[in-house]
Amino acid sequence: AYFMRFVLYIFLALLVLTTSTPQAHAGLAVASTHGDVSRGFNYDLSDMTPQEAEWFRTFLNGTFFTDGWQQITDTILQNFDAEERIRQRRVLERLGYKIGREWSRDNDERKISTPMLRKWGRKLKATVDEQPQQLAEVLEEIDEEVDSLLR
């Protein structure tokens, strides 16, 4: 049963995220983004189990098949002017931390599932493509939804 669950986790991660796991201190996940879009940020994972920390890093960096939070953040930030980019970077950092920490927990305990990640990812990508001027509002909506799930 444990092996099948592990295989399912791996399969789901491959469907949801992209790239390899970063080399980082066990209690720290680092999201270093590209270019001048953002400078990167650190997350304290010291209170997470090693497995949760590994899943969190996967959430940040993705897998071969899908983008992780780091790439999503870079894409979104490109749609803001320099001043607003700073504010939205902080919004994205906090949102990613909340989503990633909860999603990284054991399936029986977590309140954020892989289908939710997919739904939010599709919504963000559609907004970037079709109505980038609405990104701040969509981020706020997702943040409110996450907060309500975590209560």
pLDDT of residue 19: 37
Q: Is pLDDT at 45 greater than 50 in this prediction?
A: yes
pLDDT surpasses 50 at 32: no
pLDDT at 49: 95
pLDDT value of position 8? 53
17 with 119: CB under 8 angstroms? Answer: no
Determine the Cα–Cα distance for residues 87 and 106; give it in Å rounded to an integer: 32
The fraction of the chain above a pLDDT of 70, given in percent, is 73
Higher pLDDT residue, 98 or 27?
98
Q: State the pLDDT at residue 93.
A: 95
d(CA 122, CA 96): 15
* 30, pLDDT greater than 60: no
pLDDT tens-digit readout, 108-132: 999 999 999 999 999 999 999 999 9
Locate tokens 């919004």: which residue? 91
According to DSSP, residue 32 is labeled -
Q: Is the dihedral of CA 96, 99, 103, 104 positive or negative?
A: positive
> Which residue do the tokens 């953040």 mark?
73
Pairwise CA distance, residues 103 & 91, whole Å: 18
Q: What is the mean pLDDT of the chain?
A: 82
Residue 40 φ/ψ region, left for φ over 0, alpha for ψ in the -120 to 50 degree band, beta for the rest: left
For 68-97, b/e burial (b = at least 16 CB within 10 A) is bbbbbbbebbebbeeeebeebbebbbebbb
Query: Residue 3 pLDDT more than 90?
Result: no
Give the side-chain half-sphere CA count within 13 A for 139.
23
Q: Mind listing the pLDDT tens digit for each residue in 55-74? A: 999 999 999 888 999 999 99
